[in-house]
Amino acid sequence: PLWLFLRVLPLFPMHFLLLSQIEDLGTPRSFSVDYRKDCFRKDGEEFRYISGSIHYSRIPRVYWKDRLIKMYMAGLNAIQTYIPWNYHEPSPGQYSFSGDRDLEYFLQLARDIGLLVILRPGPYICAEWDMGGLPAWLLNKKDIVLRSSDADYINEVDKWMGKLLPMIKPYLYQNGGPIITVQVENEYGSYFACDYNYLRHLTKLFRSHLGDEVVLFTTDGPGLGYLKCGSIQGLYATVDFGPGGNVSAAFDAQRYAEPHGPLVNSEFYTGWLDHWGSPHSVVSSAIVAKSLNEILAIGANVNLYMFIGGTNFAYWNGANSPYGAQPTSYDYDAPLSEAGDLTEKYFAIREVIKMYRKIPEGPIPPTTPKYAYGTVVMKKLQTISDALEKLSFSGPVKSMYPQTFIELNQVFGYVLYRTSLPVDCNTPTPLSSPLNGVHDRAYVSVDGVNVGILERNKVITVNVTGKAGSQLDVLVENMGRINYGKNINDFKGLVSNLTLGNNTLHDWIMYSLSIDEAVNQGLLDETTPTNAAQTAALSLPAFYAGSFIIPDGIPDLPQDTYIKLPQWRKGQVWINGFNVGRYWPTRGPQVTLFVPANILSTAAPNNVTVLELEEAPCSTEQCNVEFIATPILTTTVQSVCEMCRRRFKEDDFL
């Protein structure tokens, strides 16, 4: 079978270049827009793409090939991917392009499998990704206007694109690579700034690095309101819209911006994103198939967003406004599940594509097997405050008023803010964030007893009691930066003052926590029981650890699995030091976390570390985590749809 053949195909850049040079001996490769015949032209021939979105940043590298081959076997002739700037430039001038970030390897795989690439390098990408892909360190300039002509923003964009685009250039179609089109910015018409000089600058910048030949395009909602600020001369305007609406009306909007040229839906939604606290999004295969058929029937180009969603490992999820964070899973109800499994939607889509294009013969790579490793007993390690010295690599910082994560030079995770009660609070006294400045959730304790949780937009006050001088700890969690709309300058930590009664709290000591590094270096110890009276409803944020062995004598282990944390409340999980993501089954809808086999070991016990922020189920009994073989993404939640991102209504159409 084809995919077995591909498995042994060497995938080195040298080989790739040779291959392309050999092919190039014939007609020169070209890709362009034909404004006369309203189509794309590839090597002179009329061409239409049927593409699917896959974000390499959400899939372990070892699975890229499997997912791409499944996409190829569905009948797609192209893929579309975003490049998240913050994934590749974690701090200014420090670039990362290896391992799971090996963009060039991803492009080579796509090409070798026979898929063209529609590249979306941003700089802003949205994507339900932390800060829409923009690096949080841009906020070092407090009042920066992101996605605009702001000189400091432009300066950083120029440097980043000066690194990225020359790397991309050899992979352009006309240079022998798979990239047929390159998107500039993303849904810019949905952003308040409407800065044409910014779009003009990006156009010039992309042209200067990539040349005049490559097709550059924009994507916006299918309404004049969006296209007005999102499209500009020199960039081919495309639209995005989901199933169930009036396809021809949506394309009428594109025709307003582009009277001639190919029709393109750059994001045809196969499913939808989730938020903590809202039900899991499900979109029926039937409605997806029906609208896809309508799009293909009129000869339009389409990209299915997502074809596979994947996972927001570690801290990479974004959030919408009013603040609602997205969970760890980015399953998206896409035709390939989070774990790459073939679904009914996959086959429904394949049947539709079959009516328009010859699809590859041969077997489809099967769904990867999952294994239920069973129950793992967890023992308690230190609390965050017990382990503070080990966790705070850079040492504490003192200041009169609280500083944000960025001021403390921290991007993700957790910061502990510590001060003391300025007055006796003999009766319950409100500890408040009057300006709603807890970004995003804070676990509050007085003298080592948890007194409650503050949460952005939801809980701005907890009552505390205690003597003057009692230690007040506020552990603040960054739950993911807003990725869409005008609030993307999303500072984290305590971004405004806390008050206690009528007093503004001051004289803070702040600990930036390097938890990932500490977990990786095995720095956390077992707890020494302090016998502190546990009368509080919640316990202190603390670490727990356990390990499990991959059983012998079963072929093909390790396999993928899902971790479930019964009766645990909210926190973060690492397996062998790899940050698997956030869990929050009490809020839902996601209950289990995807654990890819590549992080598991057969050579040594596998180490599970949990940071439970609220209350572990072990105060009275033994606590466990479980590894099971099927995902649970759909627990019932109270539907708080205030944060569901509104997209396009019929009124937005022409």
Ligand X SMILES: *[C@@H]1O[C@H](CO)[C@@H](O)[C@H](O)[C@H]1NC(C)=O
Residues of this chain that bind ligand X (CB under 6 A): 246, 248-249, 252, 401, 428, 430, 461-463, 496-497, 501-502, 504, 522, 576, 601, 604-607
**E runs forming strands in 250-329:** 264-269, 301-308, 319-320, 324-325
Instruction: Classify residue 14 as exposed, middle or buried by CB count within 10 Å of its CB (0-12, 13-18, 19+).
Output: exposed
- Smallest Cα–Cα separation from 539: which of 510, 568, 517, 575? 568
Looking only at the bridges linking them, the beta strands covering 561-564 and 425-432 are unpaired
Minimum distance from CB of 547 to ligand X (Å)?
6
Tokens coding 523? 């720095």
**Catalytic annotation on 187?**
yes
Q: How far is the CB of 510 from ligand X (least distance, A)?
A: 12
Do 618 and 544 contact (CB within 8 A), yes or no? yes
By beta-carbon proximity to ligand X, the closer residue of 97 and 256 is 256
Which residues, 6 or more positions from 415, have their beta carbon under 8 angstroms from its beta carbon?
Answer: 405, 408, 475, 476, 493, 510, 511, 512, 513
End-to-end Cα distance, the chain: 48
Which residues does residue 624 pair with via DSSP β-bridges, in sequence order?
Answer: 377
Please give the single-letter amino acid code of residue 458: K
From the list 89, 128, 185, 187, the catalytic residue is 187
H helices of 191-281, in order, are: 196-210, 224-230, 247-257
Concatenating the DSSP letter of every residue in 561-619 gives EEEE-TT--SEEEEETTEEEEEE-TTT-S--EEEE-GGG--SSSPEEEEEEESS--TTT
Residue 495 CB, shortest distance to ligand X, in Å, is: 6
Smallest distance from the beta carbon of 552 to ligand X, in angstroms? 16
User: What are the beta bridge partners of residue 378?
Assistant: 623
Residue partners of 637: CB distance under 8 A and separation at least 6:
277, 278, 279, 587, 588, 589
Instruction: Please identify, using beta-carbon distances, which residue of 502 and 528 lies nearer to ligand X.
Output: 502
Q: Which of 128, 267, 612, 615 is catalytic?
A: 267
* Complex with ligand X: residue 169 or 458, whichever CB lies closer: 458
Instruction: Write the single-letter amino acid at 510.
Output: M
Closer to ligand X by CB, 362 or 428: give it: 428
Tell me how far, at minimum, the Cβ of 428 lies from ligand X, in Å: 4
| Residue nearest ligand X (C-beta atom) | 501
From the CB of 382, what's the least distance to ligand X, in Å? Answer: 16
Q: Which residues pair with 325 in a beta bridge?
A: 319
**Nearest distance in Å: CB 616, ligand X:** 20
Q: How far is the CB of 605 from ligand X (least distance, A)?
A: 5
Alpha helical stretches, state H, 318-437: 344-354, 388-391
Q: Which residues of 325-358 are buried (b: 16+ CB within 10 A; e: fewer)?
A: bbbbbbbbbbbbbbbbbbeebbebbbebbeeeee
Instruction: Supply the minimum distance, in Å, between the C-beta of residue 462 and ligand X.
Output: 6
Give which of 569, 560, 570 is closest to 59, Cα–Cα: 560
The DSSP bridge partners found for residue 611 are 543, 572
Task: Report, in Å, the least distance between residue 458 CB and ligand X.
Answer: 12
Crossing angle between the packed helical segments 103-113 and 13-24, to the nearest 10 degrees: 40
Contact between 527 and 340 under an 8 Å Cβ cutoff? The reply is no
Rank residues 149 and 497 by Cβ distance to ligand X and give the closer one: 497
The pair of structure tokens assigned to 355 is 């009516």
Name which of 247 and 482 has its Cβ closer to ligand X: 247
Give me the long-range contacts of 9-13 (CB less than 8 A, separation at least 24).
9/112, 11/105, 11/108, 11/109, 11/112, 13/104, 13/108
Give 436 or 607: the residue with its C-beta nearer to ligand X.
607
β-bridge mates for residue 560, sequence order: 370
How many Å apart are CA 589 and CA 581, to the nearest integer?
15
Residues 475 and 376: their CA atoms lie apart, in Å, by: 28
Residues contacting 645, CB < 8 A, separation 6+: 273, 320, 484
Question: 157 vs 575, which CB is nearer to ligand X?
Answer: 575
177 Cβ partners below 8 Å, 6+ apart?
Answer: 20, 107, 111, 117, 170, 171
Nearer to ligand X, 248 or 436 (CB): 248
Q: How far is the CB of 617 from ligand X (least distance, A)?
A: 23
C-beta closer to ligand X: residue 114 or 430: 430
Say if CB 177 and CB 19 are below 8 A apart.
Answer: no
Reply yes or no on whether 621 is catalytic. Answer: no
Of 439 and 582, nearer to ligand X (C-beta) is 439
Residues with a catalytic annotation lie at: 187, 267
